[in-house]
């Protein structure tokens, strides 16, 4: 019974004298390697060139703002509950009068931290969020000199304000369609 079309019958006959000299097999192998010599290389020169990611790429999280530059997060904690790696912690605070231009709802996250050493970039936080406040960007390959630096604070995670710095905001949004 043949399970696949690609199965090849192996020739198990003992080698003849010419084959025993290894030369035909070696020459064949050299033919294969030299054909690769002239092939187009798949290398991407990383820091200068970057590969384009798919629209659903899951990189570092970003905390979203609305069109007026107000933080969307209400510190409901659903992302922290959804997180299988338990990487997210937050502290809520109440919006004071006069802070309406900063926070969209009456409750906001005073402290919001993601431990990037724990995060597995599964994207469950993005799915859990009822306010579209957190999503995974196309940024990746973070680097730091100590472990402490990998605990990203709210300042590290917040997207640039679209009113104050539209250029940086556009870059942070990237190719991803903003909901």
Partner 1 sequence: MHLLIIDSFYIWEKLILVVFIVTLCMLVAMYATYGERKVAAFLQDRIGPNRAGPFGIFQPLADGGKLFFKEEIIPLASSRTLFVIGPMLAMTTALLTSAVIPWGPALHIKNRNVPFQIADINIGILYIFGVVSLGVYGIMIGGWASNNKFSLLAAIRGASQMISYELAMGLALIALLMLTGSLQMSDIVDHQVHGRWGGFLSWHIVRQPLGFLIFFICALAECNRTPFDLAEAENELNFGYHQEYSSMKLGFYLFAEYINMFISGVVMSTLFLGGYDIPFVNEASWHIDPNWLAVIGFCVLLAKAFFFVFVFMWIRWTVPRFRYDQLMNLGWKKLIPLALLNMIVTAVVVLWMRK
Q: From the CB of 126, what's the least distance to partner 1, in Å?
A: 36
Q: Are 61 and 116 in contact (CB under 8 A)?
A: no
Euclidean distance between CA atoms 103 and 122, whole angstroms: 27
Q: Which is nearer to partner 1, 9 or 45 (CB)?
A: 45
Q: From the CB of 28, what's the least distance to partner 1, in Å?
A: 10
> Between residue 117 and residue 146, which ones bind partner 1 under the rule CB under 8 A?
none
Q: From the CB of 6, what's the least distance to partner 1, in Å?
A: 22
Q: Which is nearer to partner 1, 48 or 164 (CB)?
A: 48
Q: Which is nearer to partner 1, 41 or 179 (CB)?
A: 41
Q: Which is nearer to partner 1, 2 or 35 (CB)?
A: 35
Q: From the CB of 14, what's the least distance to partner 1, in Å?
A: 16
> Between residue 3 and residue 62, which ones bind partner 1 under the rule CB under 8 A?
21-22, 26, 29-30, 32-34, 36-37, 39, 41-43, 45
Name the residues that contact partner 1, by CB under 8 A: 21-22, 26, 29-30, 32-34, 36-37, 39, 41-43, 45
């Amino acid at each position: 019974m043949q399970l696949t079309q690609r199965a090849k019958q192996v020739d198990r006959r003992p080698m003849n004298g010419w084959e025993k000299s290894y030369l035909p097999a070696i020459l064949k192998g050299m033919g294969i390697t030299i054909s690769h010599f002239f092939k187009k290389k798949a290398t991407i020169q990383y820091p200068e060139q970057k590969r384009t990611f798919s629209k659903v790429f899951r990189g570092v999280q970003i905390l979203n703002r609305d069109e007026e530059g107000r933080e969307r997060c209400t510190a409901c904690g659903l992302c922290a509950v959804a997180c299988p790696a338990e990487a997210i912690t937050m502290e809520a605070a109440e919006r004071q009068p006069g802070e309406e231009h900063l926070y969209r709802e009456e409750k906001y996250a005073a402290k919001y931290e993601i431990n990037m050493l724990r995060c597995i970039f599964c994207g469950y936080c993005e799915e859990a969020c009822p306010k579209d406040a957190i999503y995974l960007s196309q940024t990746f390959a973070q680097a730091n000199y100590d472990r402490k630096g990998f605990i990203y604070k709210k300042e590290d995670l917040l997207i640039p304000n679209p009113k104050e710095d539209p250029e940086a905001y556009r870059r942070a949004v990237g190719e991803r369609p903003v909901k």
